[in-house]
């Protein structure tokens, strides 16, 4: 905005605002072309821009606004119906005006945008079916303009008629109130004239007030009319609000952040004091600070409608372009969010909406064939819930085929076929947020390139939000986005480990688990070397915070009490072991300096009540570092699976799932498992004609499970192998398996009908038939004698 004066700046701001309303009004008009008030509003917007730009000498701007106004004039007079073509042309006019205003904002000059084509189009529409006599060339439209004022007249001389009487210089609704009162005989014209004269000679009171004080009018009438007038003009809001620079609000927010910290310190100090006078004062300080914080946060709040108001236009243009018909309904536009967050979700939301139109909603004929209304229905809904804002976008389109997503993801190498086989539908769906996965049959200029959804998720997670998807084929899709209200001050759980305190944003927190005594020692199990905890039958990957931070050696087995903070990141849950769990506190997020920018484990820092600095953990970063995010995908759904496979019950067992040979699965009763180990293949030696490895200062004979079961499968030349150590009568045997998959708890029926002695029976685990092995028989079949020769192992 350099180089242009304030007046032009104000003109730009006002014009932008008016043009936003202009779009919304035009779309509303398309729905209801008879709405005269909306049409007037559209007309007024263009008219004002025309007048003001003429005043500033922006000729091109004025010229375009003028032809637009002419066309609108005929619409207003009812001489032309609002067709789709006209609406499109008028919307384009709005866009072009915006572009031209943008050029003015940047350069201070009008620039040389060519508007002649659009002007000609508007003129053609203006001429419409009208007689040739009405037709006037675009370069001299002033002669037929409805407005009696010449196009180049300065704006000051040419206020819109609607505004003429509405307000005097002080914004007082003088004329109108007077008119209303006298028209309806509630006050005499003489009294009104006298009151107006009093105002002119310096009486600062409002007209109604003067009249009421003089007894010339009934206060109730005046109040009713003021209200009526406020309703009809729609301008009352601007009377009671002012523009404030966002920078100032940001500064205020920072100061309030400092105050919150100082408050926290005072409260802590006072708690140590016994003097009740301090306690009272600090309590008041506490309350006032909280209210001030809320108040300042509110000043930065904006209704989400500010982002949404662009969306009907996006939907309209896009659905026309792809030949679809879509009705967008918006619920909860008033839901408020911090300005920074509003800005951050703008692009992701637009992208989601475009996606829904482009591949959610079907073509009208397809919809009708499926027995659905030709017009697709999309609903955008926002609401507050538990200190967060939920935004839901639902459509009644064709839904997302999880299998198509899977095939595409496999083809793109995002996941392997084996991984896919273990994923349930909900997990498959989340793959659409991976880079490179798009299920669009055709790549259009809108979507289908497979970029975008991953960016959407990244952007939403960057501001501490999450995104979830639910779909039903043929019925539609709902995408749910959860985002925090604000970023500057967040509630956080304070934990400590290795003597340092850390803050964990509450948004990532699910629950706290405390293990004591025997549980503390044995509650954490190991699967495939990774620690897990069984939380209500579900395997929760465990991450030790102090180990991730490399703050201490590995001695978690000695803990008397284990505190687990259950967190979620990227749709997955994991447990974080910490030494102590303290309180929750409102913390002020402060950025880390440039020396720590690449510290992925920390989202920032904050100052605690005692004045010391504490780091804020980046839950996503920790999950990534500990690799729980990718690994757990395969396991996430074990619980649901075994609940579903409802076999006639005889026994409930905990089973270790392993992969054997070429993609076969087997299960071993966990009570038969001594340990799970991983050996390097090069560690295999030969002893007494068998493969053995050195293990815990002894020799461990190995048995290839694939060979024992006769299922075949290649031997790896190098790398590592997973071994299940089974001990019987003091002798250990290492069962070499293809892969250790999971631990599940399951009701099984052991039938012994299987003719293979080493198989106890078969069960369905995670949707796959799995043999439960009889380890005793197995080891016996492998030659108990030869294992026995290692007596003393």
- Indicate the angle between helix axes 116-127 and 59-76, nearest 10 degrees: 20
Q: Cβ of 196: how many Cβ atoms within 10 Å?
A: 17
Regarding 592 and contact with another protein (CB under 8 A), the answer is yes
* From 100-108, 289-297, 454-462, 611-619, span contacting another protein (CB under 8 A): 611-619
Regarding 601 and contact with another protein (CB under 8 A), the answer is yes
| Reduced 3-state DSSP string for 414-470 | CCCHHHHHCCCHHHHHHHHHCCCCCCCCCCCCCCCCCCCHHHHHHHHHHCCCEEEEE
Instruction: Provide the minimum distance between the beta carbon of 600 and another protein in the complex, in angstroms, as a whole number.
Output: 9
Please, which of residues 262-291 interact with another protein by CB under 8 A?
262
* From 132-140, 281-289, 392-400, 606-614, span contacting another protein (CB under 8 A): 606-614
Residue for token digits 């649901």?
640
Residues 534-573: x where in contact with another protein by CB under 8 A, - otherwise, as a string: ---------------xxx----------------------
Closer Cβ to another protein, 594 or 648, answer by number = 594
Instruction: Provide the minimum distance between the beta carbon of 726 and another protein in the complex, in angstroms, as a whole number.
Output: 39
* From 1-9, 232-240, 299-307, 596-604, span contacting another protein (CB under 8 A): 596-604
Instruction: Name the nearest CA neighbour of 589 among 495, 491, 656, 689.
Output: 491
Closer Cβ to another protein, 360 or 505, answer by number = 505
Q: What letter would DSSP give residue 19?
A: H
Beta-strand runs (E) in 642-684: 651-660, 664-669, 675-680
CA distances from 437 to 224, 348, 430, 460, 569 (A): 60, 17, 10, 18, 21
Regarding 595 and contact with another protein (CB under 8 A), the answer is yes
Q: 443: burial class by Cβ within 10 Å (0-12, 13-18, 19+)?
A: exposed
The answer to whether 485 and 491 are in contact (CB under 8 A) is no
* From 116-124, 361-369, 569-577, 590-598, span contacting another protein (CB under 8 A): 590-598
Q: What letter would DSSP give residue 582?
A: E
Regarding 607 and contact with another protein (CB under 8 A), the answer is yes
State the Cα angle at 375 between 372 and 378, rounded to 5°. 95
Instruction: Provide the minimum distance between the beta carbon of 485 and another protein in the complex, in angstroms, as a whole number.
Output: 23
Q: For another protein, which residue of 258, 294, 329, 651 counts as binding (CB under 8 A)?
A: 258
Regarding 582 and contact with another protein (CB under 8 A), the answer is no
Q: Which segments of 605-755 does DSSP mark as H helices, in order?
A: 619-625, 628-631, 638-644, 705-709
Closer Cβ to another protein, 440 or 592, answer by number = 592
Can you read off the two tokens belonging to residue 421? 């086989």
Distance of CA 668 to the CA centre of its chain: 43
Regarding 614 and contact with another protein (CB under 8 A), the answer is yes
- Indicate the angle between helix axes 174-183 and 189-200, nearest 10 degrees: 170
Instruction: Provide the minimum distance between the beta carbon of 567 and another protein in the complex, in angstroms, as a whole number.
Output: 18
Regarding 605 and contact with another protein (CB under 8 A), the answer is yes
Q: Which residues, listed in sequence order, are joined to residue 666 by a DSSP beta bridge? A: 658, 771
Please, which of residues 491-510 interact with another protein by CB under 8 A?
500
Q: Which residues, listed in sequence order, are joined to residue 772 by a DSSP beta bridge? A: 667, 761
Instruction: Provide the minimum distance between the beta carbon of 257 and another protein in the complex, in angstroms, as a whole number.
Output: 8
Q: Which residues, listed in sequence order, are joined to residue 614 by a DSSP beta bridge? A: 606
Q: For another protein, which residue of 71, 222, 261, 709 counts as binding (CB under 8 A)?
A: 261
Distance CA 765, CA 422 (A): 10
Instruction: Provide the minimum distance between the beta carbon of 613 and another protein in the complex, in angstroms, as a whole number.
Output: 4
Closer Cβ to another protein, 36 or 600, answer by number = 600
* Beta-carbon-side half-sphere exposure of residue 773 (alpha carbons within 13 Å): 29
* From 70-78, 194-202, 366-374, 597-605, span contacting another protein (CB under 8 A): 597-605
Closer Cβ to another protein, 230 or 266, answer by number = 266
- Give the H/E segment covering residue 195: helix 189-200
Closer Cβ to another protein, 415 or 615, answer by number = 615
Closer Cβ to another protein, 590 or 776, answer by number = 590
* From 43-51, 481-489, 604-612, 648-656, span contacting another protein (CB under 8 A): 604-612
Q: For another protein, which residue of 120, 613, 643, 649 counts as binding (CB under 8 A)?
A: 613
Would you tell me which residues interact with another protein (CB under 8 A)? Answer: 258, 261-262, 500, 549-551, 590, 592-599, 601-602, 605, 607, 611-615
């Amino acid at each position: 905005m350099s180089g242009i004066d304030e007046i032009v700046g104000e003109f730009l701001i006002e014009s932008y605002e008016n043009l936003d309303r202009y779009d919304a009004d035009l779309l509303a008009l398309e729905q209801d072309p008879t709405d005269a008030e909306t049409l007037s509003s559209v007309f007024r917007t263009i008219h004002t821009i025309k007048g003001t730009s003429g005043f500033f000498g922006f000729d091109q701007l004025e010229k375009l606004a003028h032809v637009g106004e002419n066309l609108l004039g005929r619409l207003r007079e009812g001489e032309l119906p609002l067709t789709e073509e006209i609406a499109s042309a008028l919307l384009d006019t709005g866009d072009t005006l915006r572009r031209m205003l943008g050029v003015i904002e940047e350069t201070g000059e009008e620039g040389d945008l060519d508007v002649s084509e659009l002007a000609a189009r508007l003129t053609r529409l203006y001429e419409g079916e009208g007689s040739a006599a009405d037709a006037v060339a675009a370069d001299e439209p002033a002669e037929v303009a409805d407005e009696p004022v010449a196009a180049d007249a300065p704006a000051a001389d040419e206020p819109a008629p609607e505004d003429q009487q509405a307000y005097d210089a002080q914004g007082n609704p003088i004329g109108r109130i007077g008119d209303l009162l006298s028209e309806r005989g509630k006050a005499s014209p003489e009294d009104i004239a006298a009151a107006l004269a009093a105002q002119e000679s310096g009486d600062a009171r409002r007209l109604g007030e003067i009249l009421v004080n003089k007894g010339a009018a009934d206060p109730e009438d005046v109040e009713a009319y003021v209200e009526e007038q406020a309703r009809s003009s729609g301008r009352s809001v601007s009377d009671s609000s002012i523009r404030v620079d966002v920078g100032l609000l940001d500064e205020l927010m920072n100061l309030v952040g400092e105050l919150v910290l100082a408050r926290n310190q005072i409260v802590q100090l006072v708690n140590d004091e016994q003097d009740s006078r301090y306690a009272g004062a600090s309590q008041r300080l506490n309350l006032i600070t909280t209210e001030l914080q809320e108040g300042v946060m509110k000043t930065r709040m904006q209704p989400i409608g500010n982002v949404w108001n662009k969306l009907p236009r996006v939907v309209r243009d896009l659905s026309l372009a792809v030949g679809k018909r879509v009705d967008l309904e918006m619920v909860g536009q008033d839901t408020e969010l911090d300005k920074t967050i509003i800005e951050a979700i703008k692009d992701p939301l637009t992208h989601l909406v475009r996606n829904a139109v482009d591949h959610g909603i079907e073509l009208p004929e397809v919809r009708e064939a499926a027995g659905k209304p030709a017009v697709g229905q999309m609903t955008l809904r926002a609401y507050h819930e538990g200190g967060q804002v939920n935004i839901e976008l639902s459509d009644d389109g064709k839904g997302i085929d999880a299998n198509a997503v899977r095939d595409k993801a496999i083809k793109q190498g995002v996941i392997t076929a084996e991984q896919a086989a273990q994923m349930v539908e909900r997990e498959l769906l989340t793959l659409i947020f991976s880079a490179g996965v798009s299920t669009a049959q055709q790549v259009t200029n809108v979507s289908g390139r497979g970029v975008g959804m991953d960016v959407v998720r990244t952007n939403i997670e960057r501001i501490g939000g999450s995104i979830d998807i639910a779909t039903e084929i043929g019925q539609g899709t709902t995408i749910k986005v959860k985002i925090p209200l604000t970023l500057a001050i967040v509630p956080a759980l304070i934990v400590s480990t290795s003597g340092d305190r850390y803050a964990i944003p509450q948004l990532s927190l699910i629950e706290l688990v405390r293990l004591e005594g025997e549980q503390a020692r044995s509650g954490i199990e190991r699967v495939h070397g990774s620690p897990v905890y069984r939380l209500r039958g579900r395997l929760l990957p465990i991450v030790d915070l102090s180990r991730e931070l490399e703050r201490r050696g590995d001695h978690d087995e000695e803990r008397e009490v284990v505190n687990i903070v259950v967190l979620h990141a990227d749709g997955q849950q994991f447990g974080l072991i910490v030494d102590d769990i303290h309180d929750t506190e409102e913390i002020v997020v402060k950025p880390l300096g440039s020396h720590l920018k690449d510290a992925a484990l920390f989202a920032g820092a904050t100052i605690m009540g005692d004045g010391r600095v504490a780091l804020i953990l980046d839950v996503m970063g920790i999950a990534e570092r500990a690799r729980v995010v990718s690994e757990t995908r395969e396991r996430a759904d074990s619980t649901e699976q075994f609940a579903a496979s409802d076999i006639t019950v005889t026994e409930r067992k905990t089973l270790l799932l392993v992969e054997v040979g070429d993609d076969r699965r087997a299960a071993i009763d966990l009570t038969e498992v001594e340990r799970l180990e991983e050996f390097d293949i090069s560690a295999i030696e030969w002893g007494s004609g068998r493969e053995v490895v050195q293990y815990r200062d002894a020799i461990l004979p190995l048995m290839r499970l694939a060979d024992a079961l006769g299922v075949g499968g290649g031997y790896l030349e190098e790398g590592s192998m997973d071994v299940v150590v089974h001990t019987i009568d003091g002798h250990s045997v290492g069962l070499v398996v293809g892969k250790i998959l999971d631990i599940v708890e399951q009701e099984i029926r052991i039938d012994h009908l299987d003719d293979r002695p080493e198989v106890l029976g078969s069960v369905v685990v995670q949707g796959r038939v799995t043999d439960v092995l009889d380890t005793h028989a197995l080891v016996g079949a492998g030659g108990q004698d030869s294992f026995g020769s290692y007596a003393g192992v």
